[in-house]
Amino acid sequence: MMNIEFLHTDQSFSELSDIWEALLRRSGSNTPFQQPCYLDAWWSTMGGGEWDDGELWLGVGKVDSGEIAGIAPLFFTKDRKGRPSILIVGSAEVSDYLDFIVSESATEEFVDALLGSLDVEGPEGWEVLDFYNLPEESATVQALQRLAEKRGWRVGKERISPVPFVALAGSWEAYLQALNSKQRKEVKRKLRRAEEYPARVSWRIIDRDSPIEPEIDLFLELMQNDSEKRVFLTDKMLEFFRRLALTVHERGWLQLAFLEVGGEPAFGYLNFDYEDKLWVYNSGFNPSHYELSPGWVLMAHLIRWAIDYGRTEVDFLRGDEGYKYRLGGVDRHIVRLIIER
């Protein structure tokens, strides 16, 4: 039998971190966005200002022996329609994947216990479970649908976005051969043009021991060259990105990479190098060298780096931008579950 205990203090992320991380390694889905340090950075800024307030309802599932078998990082707030709702911490704009932290074998029991506890002792007056960005193939999705419907609750599911990824071959040449002829020629042409560019084109990944704060500031400056991202990057959102980058750098899975033209930064990627995969989280550019296709060039170098260093996959995360497919991306999907009590 599994019992649920709800925690409400901000310190819960750090206090549970060792147990949380060990459980995450055994979970049905294991992404950077489920790490306690990521969710702590999100919670401390409420997603960079996406939410003004909320009450933490972190559900911890314990079996009879006292061992923690599942964690559901939840919070209570009013949704966009003003309804009292329970969401997953990380919802929804800046976190590409969200899910519970639980092994597939324990998912059914954990979800059943969680729904029962929320029904009886959850936040007063809650009406909706609004769960964004769940991997479509996650066991959590199937368990939530089945067990909520069993309780007579109304369940709606919608695909939110494709999440293209590339399973990496054993060599750069094998990767290129897996692309169709047109894509392969385009990658080679862009790399060749960079080699022949009048100004010297180089790229670098920030070393783990280098001072990171100036590099984070440089990346955020590049992000703000995009008019849409400039609006998006409020003071609170900038605080989130800085806090996140510093935290992830300390944990050893930040990849901050820059393409430079004549010594001047032309493009940057903020990625996660996590669980033998490269997760392409965000980017920024200098419009001065747009004709070079600097994002393409840098991403091609990073894919080759990932292959050389034994990474198994590049996850381009949310969005159907064309470059992801021209670089070999294949769709997975994330879904949103809306469960009305």
Answer yes or no: do 228 and 282 share one domain: yes
Answer yes or no: do 41 and 113 share one domain: yes
pLDDT tens-digit map of 95-111: 999 999 999 999 999 99
- Residues 6 or more apart from 263 whose CB is under 8 A from it? 200
Average pLDDT on 60-80 reads 96
Question: In this predicted structure, what is the pLDDT of residue 188?
Answer: 97
Answer yes or no: do 87 and 174 share one domain: no
Is residue 40 over pLDDT 90?
yes
Question: In this predicted structure, what is the pLDDT of residue 209?
Answer: 86
Q: Are 131 and 144 in contact (CB under 8 A)?
A: yes
Question: In this predicted structure, what is the pLDDT of residue 210?
Answer: 87
- Look up residue 94 and give its two tokens: 């800046």
Question: In this predicted structure, what is the pLDDT of residue 1?
Answer: 86
Answer yes or no: do 192 and 149 share one domain: no
**CATH number, position 260:** 3.40.630.30
Q: Give the pLDDT band (50/70/90) at residue 261.
A: very high
pLDDT tens-digit map of 138-189: 999 999 999 999 999 999 999 999 999 999 989 999 999 999 999 999 999 9
Q: Nearest-CA neighbor of 89 among 66, 73, 110, 78?
A: 73
Answer yes or no: do 306 and 277 share one domain: yes
Q: Following DSSP, what letter does each residue of 174-230 receive, concatenated?
A: HHHHHS-HHHHHHHHHHHHHHHT-SS-EEEEE--TTS--HHHHHHHHHHHTTSHHHH
Average pLDDT on 188-195 reads 96
- Residues 6 or more apart from 42 whose CB is under 8 A from it? 48, 89, 90, 94, 95, 240, 244
Q: How far apart are CA 219 and CA 282, in angstroms?
A: 10
Answer yes or no: do 171 and 142 share one domain: no
In a domain, 326, yes or no: no
Question: In this predicted structure, what is the pLDDT of residue 219?
Answer: 98
In a domain, 330, yes or no: no
Answer yes or no: do 137 and 197 share one domain: no
Q: Nearest-CA neighbor of 191 among 36, 296, 35?
A: 296
Answer yes or no: do 126 and 235 share one domain: no
Average pLDDT on 20-26 reads 97
pLDDT tens-digit map of 305-341: 999 999 999 999 999 999 999 999 999 999 999 999 9
DSSP summary character for residue 1:
-
Is residue 298 over pLDDT 90?
yes
In a domain, 138, yes or no: yes
Q: Are 75 and 23 in contact (CB under 8 A)?
A: no
Answer yes or no: do 111 and 188 share one domain: no
In a domain, 247, yes or no: yes
In the three-class reduction of DSSP (H, G, I as helix; E, B as strand; rest coil), residue 226 is classed as: coil
Find residue 158's DSSP bridge partners. 336
Total tally of structural domains belonging to the chain = 2
In a domain, 41, yes or no: yes
Answer yes or no: do 7 and 151 share one domain: yes
Question: In this predicted structure, what is the pLDDT of residue 21?
Answer: 98
Q: 10 Å Cβ neighbour count for 115?
A: 22
Q: How far apart are CA 53 and CA 87, in angstroms?
A: 12
In a domain, 133, yes or no: yes
Answer yes or no: do 184 and 291 share one domain: yes
Question: In this predicted structure, what is the pLDDT of residue 285?
Answer: 96
Q: How far apart are CA 119 and CA 154, in angstroms?
A: 14
- Look up residue 56 and give its two tokens: 């933490």
Q: Nearest-CA neighbor of 236 among 52, 45, 90?
A: 45
Instruction: Give the strand pairing for 264-274 and 277-285.
Output: antiparallel
Please provide the average confidence, as pLDDT, over all residues in the chain. 97
Q: Give the pLDDT band (50/70/90) at residue 80.
A: confident
Question: How far is the first Cα of the chain from the last one, in angstroms, to the nearest whole number?
Answer: 24
**Domain boundaries, position 225:** 165-315
Find residue 259's DSSP bridge partners. 203, 267
Answer yes or no: do 212 and 281 share one domain: yes
pLDDT tens-digit map of 113-129: 999 999 999 999 999 99
Helix, strand, coil percent content, the chain, rounded in steps of 5:
40, 30, 30
Q: Nearest-CA neighbor of 260 among 268, 252, 271?
A: 268
Is residue 200 over pLDDT 90?
yes
In a domain, 234, yes or no: yes
Q: Give the pLDDT band (50/70/90) at residue 16.
A: very high
